[in-house]
Amino acid sequence: MANIPSKVQARLVSGLKKFQPIVISAKAKDINESDTVVIITDMLSELFGYDKYSEITSEKAVKKTYCDLAIKVNEKIKFFIEVKAAGLDLKADHIRQAVDYGSNAGVDWVILTNSYCWKVFKIIFGKPVGHELIYEFDFSQLNSKKDTDLDQLFYFCKESLAKANLENYYIQKQTFSKFFVGQLIISEPIVDAIRKTLKKLSPDIKVSNQEVIELIQKEVLKREVIEGEKVEEAKKRIAKAFKSLAKDSTTKNINP
């Protein structure tokens, strides 16, 4: 759960109360994209806390095209918002368009919305450039009394940017992903613990760590969590984490 300042929480609650009827009405009336952009601009200002005149930019040029909205804080674009008409369902082509804006401009975060459906994407700058849907929500269904619902709004509020809450949420989600947990299971410390436990349960058993790893890879884990680009990313993060833990442990031993 995010640590939302009381002032911001009050703004989110009042913003939900104001804009939910507007969004529901916009969808029912099937308003066009231009009018939907007006609603989103007001939400970015009144609900999410951005200055309408200095931090919300409309029709941001990206190569030869234009993204509907961009949030710019301290002269740096924090994320793009691609807006579709309130009555239009968000489809794969819309996602591709929004993600292309982010990847072409070197912007890490992109939001695709039609005012009620919000999709938050993280651009993964690799070879090739990829993207990941971090979370999505139906604005018309959010409950101001639920902390988890307010969290989803707070992650891209202005006050949240300075603390990198959205980035931290992304890291937490990665850590609890099937790829990360899958690689954690076959990491040396975990495999060693499994082998020792097997030895306690059956003292005569003779297996090596490598044999345990092979058993897990071939007969326990699904192939999708032991192969692929996301698996390689997970391996690197786990190796870095264990290296950091080992360094901290060494420092504590030197300076008890």
CATH number where 11 lies:
3.90.1570
* Cβ-based neighbours of 213, under 8 Å, separated by 6 or more: 186, 191
Same domain for 31 and 158?
A: yes
Domain boundary among 137, 165, 193: 165
Q: Are residues 65 and 152 in the same domain?
A: yes
State the Cα angle at 27 between 24 and 33, rounded to 5°. 130
- Show pLDDT as tens, one digit a residue, over the chain (256 residues): 678 999 999 999 999 999 999 999 999 999 999 999 999 999 999 999 999 999 998 877 777 777 889 999 988 899 999 999 998 999 999 999 898 888 888 899 999 999 999 999 999 887 788 888 999 999 999 999 999 999 999 999 999 987 888 888 888 887 877 887 888 899 999 999 999 999 898 999 999 999 999 999 888 888 887 777 777 777 787 887 777 777 666 555 555 5
Choose one of 165, 186, 212: the last residue of a domain: 165
The C-alpha R_g of the chain, in whole angstroms, comes to 23
185 and 69 in a single domain? The answer is: no
Total H helices, total E strands in the chain:
10, 6
What string of DSSP letters covers 116-174?
Answer: SEEEEEEEE-SSS-EEEEEEEEEGGG--TT-HHHHHHHHTTSHHHHTTTHHHHHHHHHH
* Residue 64 phi, psi (nearest 5): -100, 10
Query: Domain range holding 202?
Result: 178-254
**Which tokens is 13 given?**
């609650």
